Amino acid sequence: MKGKYLITTDAWFYAPDGRQYKSVWGDVNIVSDDILGIKTNIRSSNWFAKIGSETNHVIVAGCQIHYAVRCEKEPEIQNTDTTKTDGIEKKEVRPFSVYIAE
């Protein structure tokens, strides 16, 4: 993987701004478990994606990556409209949940 990607993770994570995110966008570099300074065991992920710049990045275990979408353009940061239908249409506005790691 080379270039900028929008990575969707299986679990929520906290970013330096104190908010929870389920996606991260930035330059991707695939690294081994050496980046952690420890050797993981056979039941753990042995590769990781480092997303972002050298000074601001998120490291995601390979097993936590659900989707990877290549996109050079930064996602738009705005509230997102969602519509739920369980017999009733309801429109919700939820905050943008992609961490921009640059």
pLDDT digits (tens, 9 = 90+) for 29-75: 988 766 666 676 666 677 889 999 999 999 998 889 999 999 999 98
Range of the domain at 12: 4-100
Residue 8 has pLDDT above 70, yes or no: yes
Residue 99 has pLDDT above 90, yes or no: yes
Q: What is the pLDDT of residue 41?
A: 67
Number of domains the chain contains: 1
Give the burial class of 99: count Cβ atoms within 10 A of its Cβ; 0-12 exposed, 13-18 middle, 19 or more buried: buried
CA distances from 2 to 29, 67, 77 (A): 7, 15, 23
